[in-house]
Chain A
């Protein structure tokens, strides 16, 4: 038993235990302080499922060996472009949502291809490269948003050209679309059934993919490129595939996120989203080199769960403590990324 605990500790790592402990303490405090618990659970489920696909987007990049995709903002931008096109065509509801996905895919594939090609040119420093290419792309796209040739008044600035910073999805019957599909309440807890099912369906697709021939080749290329080369696998091509899939999932992810959020956030919006997604998968037990669907699900539950529960709990103490929720998010998010990076160096044998 003790042996088992030790092994669990070794594989789980101290930082994750601290985060898990923090989450449990927060939950206990929430109950003790008589925060509206059913509401917390409902909110948690929404946050978890709406972020889930973005976290899932990090998985293929880790699997193919390019490390956590800090440049998933590229995929997010593609998703936003697809979403804006759907808005411009004045599509409503499901048509809008799914056509937005369809419109964003060609962009995501093309961008992923180029991004993956670049990743192969910078082997060894992919993460740093991804971080900065993501940030650069976000800034570059700000120019595009300013001159974007859309004329749907729901998105355009009242004067001049370009699109607004925040675009409401309410008028297109898109806000909360998935959340409200088949949603039901039990004991005060509202289940966003459609949203959860969509997230799990995406997980299932990725799971199927990882069990295909290409998926196995990708795993091998990510685990040990030299082995893969010797096994006749084209490592560079697998890395490009992984990057493309990651970018595509990023595009889907932001559309899921936006419909739950009720807005498209352009300009600064996508800037720090990759960090949140990367932190979540790492909290779930993934490393820079290895990740699984379970890591995605556990990670997003823990991380987003903490964010949801921390806010009202800290709020109860004092008004000033409200910013504590945000501070703890930043500490956890950057701390876990830092921890994962240190593991890369010492994890070799």
Chain B
């Protein structure tokens, strides 16, 4: 039976959330001792696949999954993480699931404590048994030694460096006696380089003991270093499964990115590298999860500059930093004059407007009317739409109504009227309200973050077309940040790829998929091109 040689098999696995297919026809097979990498962009379906394998409640609360999961040739139906663990699947999470005030041993043995008898337990029964710390420490030591970790097992987890926490988590998994398959979900995302290479070594060691490893990542260089087999996912589909020997990093990058949509709107004239409207130097933004680290970037007048890159690499932080929404250091010059950082008012005064990536959280007053949403920043920052009576001010209702109606017409916002609450609008129309609010400020530079997030496909196109039209008609400079590369490539003049908090390189929309893939995966770009 050829099936028995596999520890884990996933056959025709698929999953849809409320009718939206997020995963389709996935095949996966792991042999003992194999390191199998699963790579893909954000949203390619990696996490969903792991959630299925680990029996996460989110899967079963939304109607389960399609296909079969086999462990050692036997079909299993995993409906809870508990069952997954019993079936021999271990998982190292992206965020550590550790109790900080417990020692390493206690964390490793949590809920699997080794007990011993004492006087009371002999009288009152097994509930009164006490912990056998000696044996537990010995087990923990063994697991830690496997990982070459020279740290004392009785140290508390709180305050350990992240690398050690990660290893503690791994030690917990390999301490489980029946461990067959171990899943690493982007384990190196939080680690420094040296820690990451330690981890990769540890993975090889674990695999050497006959445990199969499923390694989820988007760092292609790491994949090429340790993986035996590589599976590429894109848009919820399996694109390719190849042994490492038969492929190379460029091909992987191409497969990972792919070209999804064709260009919607091509700009007629190629941009001349002209006047610099914004010069960003040494920008550091402390935005949680999207750190920007000493980033340099020049923006030309009248262009649409794209900022792309994978999630968590810092692309979102750039616009938020320029707007002063998160603690920022470095220098930004607008039209040659330095911009005072960490001050949203100042940024708006310098004619910069911002469409937040968090539309509902930052971008809108959901429980206020459309017209108030459109004018509120102008009232606050430019004293427009108000009448002054000595020291007193009153809003100018007729001017607001007139302006709102104009914007509704120009941007084609579908609503029952300017009084409608923004909460009731669809995502696309909400985004248009945001655009209207930004335009009301008469900006020279428009920062747009994730303009199509959470918007359905048809409306996406409309939003993008609106942006292009604005750029062409008014000459406004647009800096657009997006996770969707295809979207950037369809509207931008240049695209800066942000990796690890800094610009990895600037590409043209028609550069090859491989270039994009490599740059996003953290490979330094070769000179030229």
Q: Which A positions have Cβ atoms within 8 angstroms of B?
A: 208, 211-214, 216-217, 219-220, 223-224, 226-227, 229-233, 289-290, 349
Question: Do B376 and A232 touch across chains, with their CB atoms under 8 A apart?
Answer: no
A-B contact pairs, 16 of them (CB 8 A): A208-B392, A208-B394, A213-B395, A216-B372, A216-B380, A216-B395, A217-B379, A226-B361, A226-B362, A227-B362, A229-B325, A230-B325, A230-B356, A232-B377, A233-B380, A349-B423
Chain B window 349-391, contacts with chain A (Cβ cutoff 8 Å), 1 for yes, 0 for no: 0000010101001111111100010001101110100100000
Q: Chain B CB within 10 Å — which of A223, A224, A232, A290 has the most?
A: A232
Q: Find chain A residues with CB under 8 A from B380 CB.
A: 213, 216-217, 220, 231-233
Chain B window 119-132, contacts with chain A (Cβ cutoff 8 Å), 1 for yes, 0 for no: 00000000000000
* A223, B354: Cα distance in complex, Å: 19
Is B398 on the interface with A (CB-CB < 8 A)?
A: no
Q: Find chain B residues with CB under 8 A from A349 CB.
A: 423
Is B323 on the interface with A (CB-CB < 8 A)?
A: yes
Which residues between 303 and 351 of chain B lie within 8 Å of chain A, taking CB atoms? 323, 325, 344-345, 348
Q: Find chain A residues with CB under 8 A from B383 CB.
A: 213
Given A232-B345, A232-B348, A233-B380, the answer on whether A224 and B366 have CB atoms closer than 8 Å is: yes
Given A232-B344, A232-B348, the answer on whether A212 and B377 have CB atoms closer than 8 Å is: no
- Identify the closest chain A residue to B364 (Cβ): A227
Q: Find chain A residues with CB under 8 A from B194 CB.
A: none
Cross-interface CB contact of A230 among B362, B379, B386, B394, cutoff 8 Å: B362
Top 8 A-B pairs, shortest CB-CB distance: A232-B345, A213-B393, A231-B377, A223-B365, A232-B344, A212-B393, A226-B362, A211-B395
Q: A229-B344, A231-B377, A231-B381 are in contact. List 6 more A-B contacts (CB 8 A).
A: A211-B394, A213-B395, A223-B366, A226-B361, A227-B365, A231-B380
Given A230-B323, A230-B354, A232-B345, the answer on whether A212 and B381 have CB atoms closer than 8 Å is: no
* A98, B365: Cα distance in complex, Å: 39
Q: Chain B CB within 10 Å — which of A214, A233, A349 has the most?
A: A233
Return B375 CB to nearest CB of chain A, in Å.
9
- Identify the closest chain B residue to A213 (Cβ): B393
Q: Find chain A residues with CB under 8 A from B394 CB.
A: 208, 211-212
Question: Do A213 and B356 touch across chains, with their CB atoms under 8 A apart?
Answer: no
How many contacts A-B (CB < 8 Å)?
A: 71
Q: Find chain A residues with CB under 8 A from B372 CB.
A: 216, 219
* A289, B365: Cα distance in complex, Å: 12
Given A216-B380, A232-B345, A232-B348, the answer on whether A227 and B392 have CB atoms closer than 8 Å is: no
* A236, B38: Cα distance in complex, Å: 47
Question: Do B364 and A224 touch across chains, with their CB atoms under 8 A apart?
Answer: yes
* A220, B365: Cα distance in complex, Å: 7
Return B329 CB to nearest CB of chain A, in Å.
19
Q: Find chain B residues with CB under 8 A from A229 CB.
A: 325, 344
* A213, B396: Cα distance in complex, Å: 10
* A233, B365: Cα distance in complex, Å: 13
Return B410 CB to nearest CB of chain A, in Å.
21
Q: Find chain B residues with CB under 8 A from A214 CB.
A: 393
* A233, B362: Cα distance in complex, Å: 13
- Identify the closest chain A residue to B423 (Cβ): A349
Q: Find chain B residues with CB under 8 A from A223 CB.
A: 365-368
Cross-interface CB contact of B344 among A217, A231, A289, cutoff 8 Å: A231
* A82, B379: Cα distance in complex, Å: 37
- Identify the closest chain A residue to B375 (Cβ): A216
* A231, B348: Cα distance in complex, Å: 8
* A229, B326: Cα distance in complex, Å: 11
Q: Find chain A residues with CB under 8 A from B354 CB.
A: 230
Return B239 CB to nearest CB of chain A, in Å.
35
* A223, B368: Cα distance in complex, Å: 8
Q: Chain B CB within 10 Å — which of A211, A212, A213, A231 has the most?
A: A231
Given A231-B344, A289-B367, the answer on whether A220 and B376 have CB atoms closer than 8 Å is: yes
Return A38 CB to nearest CB of chain B, in Å.
40
* A226, B363: Cα distance in complex, Å: 8
Return A294 CB to nearest CB of chain B, in Å.
15
Q: Find chain A residues with CB under 8 A from B386 CB.
A: 212-213
Q: Find chain A residues with CB under 8 A from B423 CB.
A: 349
* A231, B379: Cα distance in complex, Å: 10
Return B371 CB to nearest CB of chain A, in Å.
12
* A349, B354: Cα distance in complex, Å: 24
Q: Find chain B residues with CB under 8 A from A216 CB.
A: 372, 376, 379-380, 395
Q: Find chain B residues with CB under 8 A from A231 CB.
A: 344, 348, 376-377, 380-381
Question: Do A212 and B392 touch across chains, with their CB atoms under 8 A apart?
Answer: yes
Q: Find chain B residues with CB under 8 A from A213 CB.
A: 379-380, 383, 386, 393, 395
Q: Find chain B residues with CB under 8 A from A208 CB.
A: 392, 394
Question: Do A219 and B393 touch across chains, with their CB atoms under 8 A apart?
Answer: no
* A349, B372: Cα distance in complex, Å: 21
Question: Do A224 and B325 touch across chains, with their CB atoms under 8 A apart?
Answer: no
Q: Find chain B residues with CB under 8 A from A211 CB.
A: 394-395
* A230, B353: Cα distance in complex, Å: 10
Question: Do B325 and A219 touch across chains, with their CB atoms under 8 A apart?
Answer: no
Return B139 CB to nearest CB of chain A, in Å.
42
Given A226-B361, A229-B344, A232-B381, the answer on whether A212 and B367 have CB atoms closer than 8 Å is: no
Q: Find chain B residues with CB under 8 A from A290 CB.
A: 367
Q: Find chain A residues with CB under 8 A from B358 CB.
A: 226
Q: Find chain A residues with CB under 8 A from B364 CB.
A: 224, 227
Return A295 CB to nearest CB of chain B, in Å.
14
Return A288 CB to nearest CB of chain B, in Å.
12
Return B340 CB to nearest CB of chain A, in Å.
12
Q: Find chain A residues with CB under 8 A from B368 CB.
A: 219-220, 223
- Identify the closest chain A residue to B358 (Cβ): A226
Return B401 CB to nearest CB of chain A, in Å.
14
Return B398 CB to nearest CB of chain A, in Å.
13
- Identify the closest chain A residue to B377 (Cβ): A231
Question: Do B395 and A212 touch across chains, with their CB atoms under 8 A apart?
Answer: yes
Q: Find chain B residues with CB under 8 A from A232 CB.
A: 344-345, 348, 377, 380-381
Q: Find chain B residues with CB under 8 A from A224 CB.
A: 361-362, 364-366
* A211, B387: Cα distance in complex, Å: 11
Q: Find chain B residues with CB under 8 A from A230 CB.
A: 323, 325, 344, 354, 356, 362-363
- Identify the closest chain B residue to A208 (Cβ): B394
* A232, B352: Cα distance in complex, Å: 12
* A268, B367: Cα distance in complex, Å: 38
Q: Find chain B residues with CB under 8 A from A233 CB.
A: 380
Return B414 CB to nearest CB of chain A, in Å.
19
Return B287 CB to nearest CB of chain A, in Å.
13
* A233, B395: Cα distance in complex, Å: 17
* A227, B395: Cα distance in complex, Å: 20
Return B320 CB to nearest CB of chain A, in Å.
9
* A220, B379: Cα distance in complex, Å: 11
- Identify the closest chain B residue to A226 (Cβ): B362
* A211, B375: Cα distance in complex, Å: 13
* A226, B364: Cα distance in complex, Å: 9
* A295, B354: Cα distance in complex, Å: 35
- Identify the closest chain A residue to B392 (Cβ): A212
* A214, B392: Cα distance in complex, Å: 10
- Identify the closest chain B residue to A219 (Cβ): B368
Chain B window 61-87, contacts with chain A (Cβ cutoff 8 Å), 1 for yes, 0 for no: 000000000000000000000000000
- Identify the closest chain A residue to B343 (Cβ): A232
Return B367 CB to nearest CB of chain A, in Å.
6
* A229, B392: Cα distance in complex, Å: 23
- Identify the closest chain A residue to B348 (Cβ): A232
* A143, B240: Cα distance in complex, Å: 80
Return A199 CB to nearest CB of chain B, in Å.
22
Return A299 CB to nearest CB of chain B, in Å.
19
